[in-house]
A and B are shown apart, each in its own frame.
Chain A
Amino acid sequence: MKTDNKLKGRDLINVGIYGAIYFVILFAVAMLGMIPIFLPLLSVLVPILGGIPFMLFLTKVKKPGMIFIMAMIMGILMLLTGMGPWPLLTCAIAGLLAEICFKSGEYRSAKKAVLSYGLFSMWIFGNYLPLFTDYEGYFAQRADYGQAYIDAVQKLMPLWMAPVLLIACFVCGLLGGLLGRALLKKHFEKAGLA
């Protein structure tokens, strides 16, 4: 049997299986984030908890494309649930970076796997983009609330928050990757899943 790099039905189904688990975790955390104060938590909890299914997923990734597809599907799901098209952009970039990283370890390196997941997790930042783009335009719409309003907002949602959130995604992704690998060793390898 020749092993080629074409994605077969089985690979696509694997993307679906682990994607489903990852999305359920994402959704559960997002429900918490319904209370707008907790929105930043999205960039912390999702990468950490999402590492558990993702690291197991990476043990099944031996060809290019699976990580990228996983990322794009997350983007599409974000669009469908009303988070806008920006996640699609960040998903494409994060997915590509994660692919390149994991491939560079020949799909076997544990370190590259964790790094890869860190890069992947940065897609979450796409959900925050609308808050930072069209900054003036959006708040100009609310000019009738007065200048004080605009000052207050610029204090609360300052532009420097953006890179902070992005870095949080990455760092928490690394943490999540480590957590995922720990559970891999403790449970999934012994259970025969990995």
Chain B
Amino acid sequence: MAYSSERSQEARRGFLDPRTKLALVLVLAVFVMGGLGGEALRPVKTILSALPFALLLAERQWKRFARGILMLGIGYGLLTVMPFLPRALNYLALLCGGILTRFVVTVVMGEYLIATTSVSEFISAMERLRMPRAITVPMSVMFRLFPTISAEWKSIRRAMRMRGIHLGGAKASQVLEYQLVPMMTSTVRIGEELSASALTRGLGGPTRRTNICRIGFRAQDAVLLAGCVFVVGVWILELCGVRLW
């Protein structure tokens, strides 16, 4: 069977539309981390908090799931043992536990988003959301450069090692300088060449971009988005003094 790009793009489609994931991140951040709605929405928030973990499992991201659970466990663990600790450690455990439990749910949701969304899917979603070019172009360049920066960093570290410059062999500030300067020089050079190449392929033209990446809402997106709407709805009702339970 001859190669069909349309077919293979369809096959590579993610489980959820990136826009759904974005909505979930937002809802979780505002309600769970931000505490909007307070005590009254507690049961809703507990279900919401479980969502990122459930999604990680659904998409077989075992390692990230395990890491998330671990962080959650450490957080609540610290808060539990805190009253039994001597004064100084007490405050420490409190601080760590408090911060961890505050952030962990949304951070795990963020991890889920990053782990399961390809760059092209993400850019495609942003373009569908009518995000201005001024945002999508720099962001796509950034995603493109992250692996490059990582590779250049490693290459420079190696070269430094070869020439005998490393922590222990030279001053710390010098090591940092010797690491950062070539990394920036090479990243900027690569960025410039990238820029020229992209411009010769029409980037920056006046027409609205199209995108071959397949995204779109399906049943699972509808369910989750309905859930988000529900949460917001409950909150609004609660504001108006109507309590559902």
Chain A interface residues (CB < 8 Å from chain B): 7-10, 12-17, 19-21, 23-24, 35-37, 39, 52-53, 56, 65, 69-70, 72-73, 76, 79-86, 130-131, 133-134, 137-138, 140-142, 145-146, 148-149, 152-153, 155-157, 183, 187-188, 191, 193
Interfacial chain B residues near A138, Cβ < 8 Å: 35, 102
5 contacts between A and B (CB under 8 A): A21-B183, A81-B111, A149-B83, A152-B90, A188-B181
CB pair B42 A12 closer than 8 Å? no
CB pair B107 A9 closer than 8 Å? no
CB pair B142 A183 closer than 8 Å? no
CB pair A183 B181 closer than 8 Å? yes
Q: How far is the CB of A109 from chain B (nearest CB, A)?
A: 23
Q: How does the 8 Å CB contact mask read for B18-39 relative to A, with 1 for contact and 0 for none?
A: 0000100110011001111011
| Number of cross-chain contacts by CB at 8 Å | 178
CB pair B134 A7 closer than 8 Å? yes
CB pair A36 B141 closer than 8 Å? no
Q: How far is the CA of A39 from the CA of B38 in the complex (A)?
A: 25
- Whether a CB of chain A sits under 8 angstroms from the CB of B96 is yes
Chain B interface residues (CB < 8 Å from chain A): 22, 25-26, 29-30, 33-36, 38-39, 42, 79, 82-83, 90-92, 94-96, 98-100, 102-103, 106-111, 113-114, 133-135, 137-142, 144-146, 149, 177, 180-181, 183-185, 187-188, 191, 194-195, 198-199, 203-204
Interfacial chain A residues near B184, Cβ < 8 Å: 21, 52-53, 56, 188, 193
CB pair B138 A19 closer than 8 Å? yes
Contact check: which of B30, B90, B145 meets A17 at CB < 8 Å?
A: B145
Q: How far is the CB of B188 from chain A (nearest CB, A)?
A: 6
Q: How far is the CA of A19 from the CA of B191 in the complex (A)?
A: 11
